Amino acid sequence: MATFDFLLQGLLVAAQPMNLLYALIGVTLGTAVGVLPGIGPALTVALLLPVTYRLDPGGSLIMFAGIYYGGMYGGSTTSILLNTPGESASIVTALEGNKMARAGRGGPALATAAIGSFVAGLIATLGLAFIAPYIVKLALVFGPREYFALMVLAFVTVSSAFGDSTLRGLTSLFVGLALSVVGIDQLTGQARLSFGVPELLDGIEVTTLAVAMFAIGETLFIAAQGDKGPDKVEAVRGSVWMSANDWARSWKPWLRGTIIGFPIGAMPAGGAEIGTFLSYAAEKRLTKHPEEFGNGAIEGVAGPEAANNASAAGTLVPLLTLGLPTTATAAIMLAGFQQYGLQPGPLLFATNPQLVWGLIASLLIANFMLLVLNLPLIGLWVKLLTIPKPWLYAGILLFATLGTIGANPSVYELGMLLAFGLLGYAMRVFGYPIAPVVVGLILGPLAEQQLRRALAISQGDYSVLFTSPIAAVLLVIAAAALIVPLILRARGRGEVLSQLAANED
Amino acid sequence: MKHFFLATILAGAMSLPAFAADYTIIAPANPGGGWDQTARSLQTVMQQEGISSNVQVQNVPGAGGTIGLAQFASQQKGNANALIVGGYVMVGAILTNKSPVTLKDVTPIARLTGEYEAVVVPAASDIKTMADLVEALKKDPGAVSWAGGSAGGTDHIAVGLIAKAAGVDPTKINYIAYSGGGEALAAILGSQVTAGVSGYGEFESQVKAGTLRLLAVSGPERIAGVDAPTLKESGLDVVVENWRMVAAAPGLSDEQKAAVSADIEKLAKSAGWQEVLKTKGWQDSYLAGDAFNAQLEKDVAATEGVLKDIGLVK
């Protein structure tokens, strides 16, 4: 089969010593920028584009691939250890991962993230190689109404999955939705809730909100507790490595996360975050250890981390098959292609197979490098937790502030960071979950625009939302996710649910 | 912790060039669209021709570029290293959105390119010719959905003009705005909408691959090497050209403005830029200085008239 020949050829090129070095530089840089909130892989690739100008196409693409995958992975490290998501796609990782780290299980959390990212990256890259043309067809079937149904599903699952109380989860979600309507409406260009403040025309930046709510809010919360707070975090309990039990609980979430993340990454209006939300919700429903969710369940780290790396590979599907860059990083990689006189598009697989396969092979190499680089580092990373609390949290504050102004150097952005930090603190004090606010801000505009587009295309006929088979299936799943727990609770079945119901009083 | 700091310093060092860059170009649209392509081509050629050693492109999408324009005008004031790509779409969007920030709030440097619009349908569509599309439009204007860029942009104006020329009430058109060319293209390819209108360059590779059917182009004459009639040949008296420009930040001194203009002139005359124009299928419409400012004023007035005419601006 020619496909395999091309892939082998690509691997041979990518495995040359110089190219391996480029891959190593790429994943190291990528991991580093993934760690810093605000500075993402797109900016890094853009900065390096001129540098790689003098390299051959193979070398530079390999480096880009390394940065891209490294960036997707790097964000999870700070999420897990410091509760400070480096990228919006690693917000979900912070939920369970940070709880694990506080319980002395930071090592296994980082390991399952690293290995899960590797597994997902590997499968998704092979998916890119062999089923990209089919996946892209699926992605194109998704029109406004299907996207809207997907958003409804995401809303329902996340609002019931984050935190113990649906009411509190929904309250947080609506705070996020309210924040999401701030700014210029994309469909009509009208300014909403901007109160004449030009800075608000842009709306609220997701990473600013996430860093504020998670990092700043957390720091204020810890500081406010003073000496009364829980004792020093236990840095390491048991092994730094994953136990047999951790492996047994991780491999299925890795695979499920990959299956969820890859197609969603391939959708032009999808995005890595949505895959991580859905993966988290799925793991929470399927787990045999529901009592651990919210207290550090390894499935809640394994699934979303796999999903976000799989969606990184998914993003390349429309890029290579349609010439359609759906993320900023993909757009810059497109520029990288054009630098060598290549136009990605429907004909690229046919006209430049060496290059496409070279890229795919370099993704495989980068993925492998990432594992080689990160597994030995885990032992060092977890030592971070042994730093005395005042220093650690002062470091987090500095780090979060630097990242935010690094991404958008404006006093106004800093003001928002502090204001949302206070909001995050207040929500913690009153027991409201934080994540749904960020989820609302991400999903709100997507859901709104897609609904309005669907209704415009149908000329105001609401039935169109249910008549597409894919949309109908998604909506039925969403309805089931909403109603089934209510029925279970009403019947008093399911220990956990009734227990939760009792706790709510 | 040592590694933590190392990572921070490394990333910090990486971000340093962001502040020391010779030029930062704002593409006020999503990656993949026309402005994004223009900005990235500027980036490539400026570096290639040694005009600037480090050029960055930043995407600030939405609302016909007015979001990017507003941010640019407020944040880059007095910064001679910042550029923004814009064009005809922005002129329309400023009017329809009643944007508080207009092209008067930035420093227009030069018009660079022009591109004609193309009308396409998915390859599987029943609509074979422009006449078929016009017929469907006449039958029920609302049933024909058009995907294109931001509300009030060139694409939207073109659809309005087509409707008007066909004798259909332009206020009845069902136009679906997308924030960038990439997303609109996906909607057309997926047959989510009846037809699509955008710059020919954005559809070119799909038309060549046979996944989209090109019905007509909006120039006064056919595009060389492209097998499609003009709108005029199809019986619609419509000519639309989507020009693109580059502007600098507000509040520049005369010397700064002259320096930026000189850089852009050097770019526009360079062999590398001419090559880009050829490969992208853009017309060279370089116009700078007072001549450009006068033309811009004329275009703004004309666009306002067109938008009022077709009911997009009251």
Contacts of B190 in chain A (CB under 8 A): 140-143
Query: Is A346 close to B150, i.e. CB distance below 8 A?
Result: no
- Does position B281 have pLDDT exceeding 60, yes or no? yes
Of A43, A345, A456, which has the smallest distance from its Cβ to B176's Cβ? A456
pLDDT higher at A269 or A446 = A446
- Does position A505 have pLDDT exceeding 50, yes or no? no
Interface test with A, best of B4, B67, B178, B183 (most A CBs within 10 A): B4
pTM to 2 decimal places = 0.79
Could you tell me the pLDDT band of residue A451, with boundaries at 50, 70 and 90? very high
Q: Count CA atoms closer than 13 A to B289's CA, side-chain side.
A: 4
Query: Is A47 close to B97, i.e. CB distance below 8 A?
Result: no
Looking at residue A49, what is its pLDDT? 64
Could you tell me the pLDDT band of residue A366, with boundaries at 50, 70 and 90? confident
Of A44, A331, A345, which has the smallest distance from its Cβ to B14's Cβ? A44
Looking at residue B34, what is its pLDDT? 74
Contacts of A189 in chain B (CB under 8 A): 63-64, 66, 93, 96-97, 99, 150-152
pLDDT higher at A5 or A100 = A100
Query: Is B44 close to A43, i.e. CB distance below 8 A?
Result: no
Looking at residue B7, what is its pLDDT? 45
Are B2-113+243-309 and B115-217 in the same CATH fold? yes
Looking at residue B138, what is its pLDDT? 93
pLDDT higher at A219 or A42 = A219
pLDDT higher at A459 or A331 = A459
Q: What is the pLDDT of residues B192-211, one digit of tens each?
A: 999 999 888 778 888 888 88
Q: What is the pLDDT of residues B105-159, one digit of tens each?
A: 888 888 888 888 999 999 999 999 999 999 999 999 999 999 988 777 788 888 9
What is the dotted CATH code of the domain comprising B115-217?
A: 3.40.190.10
Q: What is the pLDDT of residues A75-115, one digit of tens each?
A: 788 888 888 776 778 888 888 888 888 888 888 999 999 99
Looking at residue A472, what is its pLDDT? 92
Looking at residue B12, what is its pLDDT? 42
What is the dotted CATH code of the domain comprising B2-113+243-309?
A: 3.40.190.150
- Average pLDDT across chain B, whole number: 80
Could you tell me the pLDDT band of residue A208, with boundaries at 50, 70 and 90? confident
- Does position B2 have pLDDT exceeding 50, yes or no? no
Cβ-contact B113, B267 below 8 angstroms: no
Looking at residue A340, what is its pLDDT? 66
The closest alpha carbon to B30, from B278, B212, B198, belongs to B198
* Amino acid identity, position B213: R
The closest alpha carbon to A76, from A95, A53, A60, A62, belongs to A95
Looking at residue A380, what is its pLDDT? 82
Looking at residue B16, what is its pLDDT? 40
Segment (H or E) for A238: none
Looking at residue A112, what is its pLDDT? 92
- Does position B62 have pLDDT exceeding 50, yes or no? yes
Query: Is B31 close to A334, i.e. CB distance below 8 A?
Result: yes
| Residue A284 DSSP SS3 | helix
Q: Which residue of A has its CA nearest to B192?
A: A143
Burial readout B276-285 (b: 16 or more C-beta within 10 A, e: otherwise): bbeebbbeeb
- Between A262-271, B15-24, B139-148, the lowest mean confidence (pLDDT) is in B15-24
Q: Which residue of B has its CA nearest to A202?
A: B67
Could you tell me the pLDDT band of residue A161, with boundaries at 50, 70 and 90? low
In angstroms, rounded to a whole number, what is the distance separating the alpha carbons of residues A80 and A93?
A: 7
- Does position A416 have pLDDT exceeding 60, yes or no? yes
- Average pLDDT across chain A, whole number: 80
- Does position A501 have pLDDT exceeding 60, yes or no? no
Burial readout A214-232 (b: 16 or more C-beta within 10 A, e: otherwise): bbbbbbbbbeeeeeeeeee
Looking at residue B13, what is its pLDDT? 43
The closest alpha carbon to A201, from B64, B230, B126, B260, belongs to B64
Most confident option among A215-224, A236-245, A254-263, A365-374: A254-263
Q: Which residue of B has its CA nearest to A398?
A: B8
Looking at residue A53, what is its pLDDT? 62
The domain segmentation of chain B, as residue ranges, is: 2-113+243-309, 115-217
In angstroms, rounded to a whole number, what is the distance separating the alpha carbons of residues A172 and A168?
A: 6
Q: Count CA atoms closer than 13 A to B84's CA, side-chain side.
A: 31
Alpha helices in A54-205 (DSSP H): 57-82, 91-102, 106-141, 144-161, 166-180
Please calculate the CA angle A351-A357-A362 and round it to the nearest 5 degrees: 145
Q: Which residue of B has its CA nearest to A42?
A: B58
* Amino acid identity, position A276: T
Q: What is the pLDDT of residues A460-481, one digit of tens each?
A: 889 988 888 999 999 998 888 7
Mean pLDDT (whole number) for B4-32: 55
